[in-house]
Amino acid sequence: MSEQRLHGYLLEFADVEDLLEAARHVVGIGYRDVEAFTPFPVHELEDVLPPCSNPIAFWVLVGGLLGGLLGYGIQYYSAVIDYPYLVGGKPMHAWPAFIPVTFELTVLFGAFGAFLASIFANGLPQLHHPIFAAEDFDLASRDRFFLLIEACDKLFDAQRTRTQLENVKASQLHSVDLEES
Amino acid sequence: MKKSTERARHQGDVFESIGRKLAAMTSGGSRRGWLLMFAFFALLSLIFLYTIMLVFTVGVGMLGINIPVAWGFPIINVVWWIGIGHAGTLISAILLLLRQGWRAPISRFAEAMTLFAAGIAGMMPIIHLGRPWFFYWLVPYPATMGVWPQWRSPLVWDFFAIATYITVSLLFWYLGLVPDLGSMRDRAKTKLGRRIYGVFALGWRGAASHWRRYQTAYLLIAGLATPLVVSVHSVIALDFAVTLVPGYHSQVFPPYFVAGALFSGFAMVLTLTIPMRRIFRLYDLITSDHLEVMAKIMLAAGLVVIYGYVIEYFLIWYDGDEYHIYLAFNRMFGPYAPYFWGMMFINVLLTQSLWFPKVRRSAGILFAVAVVLNVGMWLERYVIVIISTNRDFLPSSWNTSFGTWVDWSMLLGSLGLFFALFLLFIRAVPAISIFEEKELEYEHEHEESGRS
């Protein structure tokens, strides 16, 4: 019963090097659902933690293409098909004049792609999360570093994992509970 | 073992002190001083509001424009304000791509400066419209009249460029803020503060996978913003260059406008940085090295601007067109000669003072130079916009228009609005990126320990 209510174990560190060492250790044991929390991006973690999906670039491409096609398309449709009129003897399909708007909309939609993808791929906005209830977690945005081993991991066992983690050099070990619904 | 604990304590202390100091900026400084400054600039922004109301209710006749000087102060102000904004994007996007670590302490408020400057710039063309309530005709929408925007016109490009610029700047600025808003949420002392920051932080937890996606997105938006910033001022330059008016019709305009934008933009960044550094005692974060680098960029951009002047007058001489030659004469000795010589004195001569390390490294002198250079760049736009049209091809249509009190008050009011918004920004969110400063500190320490 108590196992089901557990979200995972949270290790607290005062130092980046200790966090990296512990992450290496835990991933070495075979845990996969491991996540670190740091007040600033720590690039070394990318090599240590299991790889995560990063679909941002794809959505920027989608956004950019969509914006460019939309920008050019609306100019072509309105100036050539829907309401053609002659200005200064220039051709109806004056493509060089269509470039600035096409470019601006490519950038606009590409930027929206990056912005929205980074938020939604991270599962945000999510104002409520079990980890916020963990002791000391408000320091994750200040000067502490955390490592979470989630209870959904295949290797996770409330007793065994706890014993394993007690061997890790960390300043503290917290258990994170799922809230009762 | 003991060494690592010591290191940890030291590291934690450094991170915490950075965070505390930067977060405290929202409530730090003198409360009374802030209120006084805010009251002053808020009053000025009321003047802005009042002049807009006058122009909207009475008409553009309140402004000093008439045929042939149909483009007046609002157009000068668009070019000037949006140019100021460009330095913010240069600092936050281009210097990020170039991995210039020194940008970290100035990027956040330079971006805010971009946002406010671009917003004010965006209002100016609407104020300039005879019927401002129809400005949305620039938007392609299936109108009942069946007409569409005229895509071959730079004015339509301009609308898209400025609208995109404001939107992308806002996205970039907000995305950069999210982790710091999370930090503010965790530090908030009141429940209300925690809720407000919490909502805007979107539930940021600082997870490693989140950081990774976040940084990819940030880098890609920076990559998109880099060509954007060049395109925006180029398109604005095309508003002039595509016409046939002597003084507007010039191929050198797009690059010359972009350089001018960076020049005036860095002047404004320094105008904001130096007082802020003093008020909040940020001497350890914004050192005189930072000031010097910015002054150097300003000098480089200024030299390109001077090159632009040289080319402009060289081409006038070289093509030998009598209207062009008269234009040069009119600028130098016509009714607006003081504006021209003022611009030359400031942008050409005063810029040379930046060659001296003493000027670049002394906050007081640099501040004075930067303020005057802002004026110089405003004069440059005055010279381009007004002194080109007042004496065109036909002497019978010559006319001299000077700015009215409404014009000058509007300019002053727009400055008030800009600084008032900036003061609100300093109070609402950390004006210097907390997480970037910590990252910088960590990397710095890392390098040092690697070396020893």
B11 chain-A contacts, CB cut-off 8 A: 14-16, 143
Helices B31-58 & B405-428 angle (0-180, nearest 10): 140
Q: Summarize pLDDT for B299-318 with one digit per residue, the tens.
A: 999 999 999 999 999 998 99
Helix (H) or strand (E) holding A175: strand A172-177
What confidence score (pLDDT) does residue B184 get? Answer: 87
A34 with A61, same domain: the answer is no
A113 with A25, same domain: the answer is no
CB contact under 8 A, B187 and A142: yes
Picking from A32-36, A93-97, A107-111, which range would have the lowest pLDDT averaged per residue?
Answer: A32-36
A26 with A73, same domain: the answer is no
Min Cα–Cα distance to chain A from B78, Å:
18
Number of domains forming the structure of chain A:
2
Bridge-based pairing of strands A172-177 and A145-150 is: unpaired
Distances from the Cα of A83 to the Cα of A70, A75, B152, B317, angstroms: 18, 11, 14, 44
A69 with A117, same domain: the answer is yes
CB contact under 8 A, B161 and A15: no
Q: Quickly state the pLDDT bin for B1 (edges 50, 70, 90).
A: very low
Res A170 pLDDT > 90: no
Helix (H) or strand (E) holding B221: helix B208-241
CB contact under 8 A, A38 and B206: yes
A25 with A108, same domain: the answer is no
Average pLDDT over residues B21-37: 79
For B157, the closest of A45, A101, A108 (CB atoms) is A101
The whole-angstrom separation of Cα B304 and Cα B377 is: 13
Res A166 pLDDT > 80: no
What confidence score (pLDDT) does residue B171 get? Answer: 93
Domain holding A155: CATH number?
3.30.70
A64 with A111, same domain: the answer is yes
Average pLDDT over residues B330-359: 93
Res A181 pLDDT > 50: no
Average pLDDT over residues A20-26: 84
More confident residue, B207 or B421: B421
What confidence score (pLDDT) does residue B450 get? Answer: 62
Q: Summarize pLDDT for B47-94 with one digit per residue, the tens.
A: 999 999 999 999 898 998 888 888 989 999 999 999 999 988 888 888
At B329, list the tokens: 């004469």
The whole-angstrom separation of Cα B112 and Cα B62 is: 31
Res B26 pLDDT > 80: no
Look at residue B379 and give its three-state secondary structure: helix
HEC profile of B417-442 = HHHHHHHHHHHHCCCCCHHHHHHHHH
Average pLDDT over residues B26-44: 85
- Residue B141 DSSP one-character state: -
Average pLDDT over residues A133-157: 80
Q: Quickly state the pLDDT bin for B5 (edges 50, 70, 90).
A: low
Res A3 pLDDT > 70: no
Neighbours of B252 (CB within 10 A): 17
Q: Summarize pLDDT for B208-260 with one digit per residue, the tens.
A: 888 999 999 999 999 999 999 999 999 999 999 988 888 888 888 999 999 99
Give every CB contact of residue A60 below 8 A, 6+ residues apart in sequence: A110, A113, A114, A117, B217, B220, B224
Domain that holds residue A83: 56-121
Q: Summarize pLDDT for B84-135 with one digit per residue, the tens.
A: 999 888 888 888 888 887 888 888 888 999 999 999 999 999 999 888 898 8
Q: Are B277 and B286 in contact (CB under 8 A)?
A: yes
Amino acid at B310: V
DSSP assignment of B160-199, as one string?
A: HHHHHHHHHHHHHHHHHHHHHHHHHHHH-SSHHHHHHHHH
Chosen from A70, A93, A104 to mutate, greatest number of chain B CBs within 10 A: A104
A27 touches chain B (CB under 8 A): no
A149 with A64, same domain: the answer is no
Average pLDDT over residues B175-181: 91
A25 with A61, same domain: the answer is no
Q: Summarize pLDDT for A119-135 with one digit per residue, the tens.
A: 998 888 888 888 887 77
A25 with A76, same domain: the answer is no
Look at residue B66 and give its three-state secondary structure: strand
More confident residue, A126 or B43: B43
Task: Tell me: cis bond preceding A125? Omega within 30 of 0 counts.
Answer: yes
A115 with A97, same domain: the answer is yes
Q: Quickly state the pLDDT bin for A4 (edges 50, 70, 90).
A: low
CB contact under 8 A, A111 and B168: yes
Q: Quickly state the pLDDT bin for B29 (edges 50, 70, 90).
A: low
Distances from the Cα of B177 to the Cα of B237, B375, B427, angstroms: 32, 31, 14
For chain A, how many helices (H) and strands (E)? Answer: 5, 4
For A15, the closest of B7, B211, B436 (CB atoms) is B7
In our burial notation (b when 16+ CB lie closer than 10 A, e otherwise), range A108-119 reads bbbbbbbbebbb
Angle at B342 between CA B337 and CA B347, to 5 degrees: 130
Most confident of A39-53, A166-180, B167-181: B167-181
Q: Summarize pLDDT for B369-407 with one digit per residue, the tens.
A: 999 999 999 999 999 999 888 888 888 888 888 889 999
Closest CA to B162 of B198, B128, B210: B128
Domain end (from A73, A105, A121): A121
A41 touches chain B (CB under 8 A): yes
What confidence score (pLDDT) does residue A63 get? Answer: 95
Chosen from B148, B209, B231 to mutate, greatest number of chain A CBs within 10 A: B209
Say what percent of chain A tops pLDDT 70.
Answer: 96
A74 with A111, same domain: the answer is yes
Q: Quickly state the pLDDT bin for B9 (edges 50, 70, 90).
A: low
Q: Summarize pLDDT for B315-335 with one digit per residue, the tens.
A: 989 988 898 899 999 999 999
Write down the mean pLDDT value for chain B: 88
CB contact under 8 A, A52 and B12: no
Domain end (from A74, A105, A121): A121
Average pLDDT over residues B19-26: 78
A69 with A43, same domain: the answer is no
Bridge-based pairing of strands A172-177 and A34-37 is: unpaired
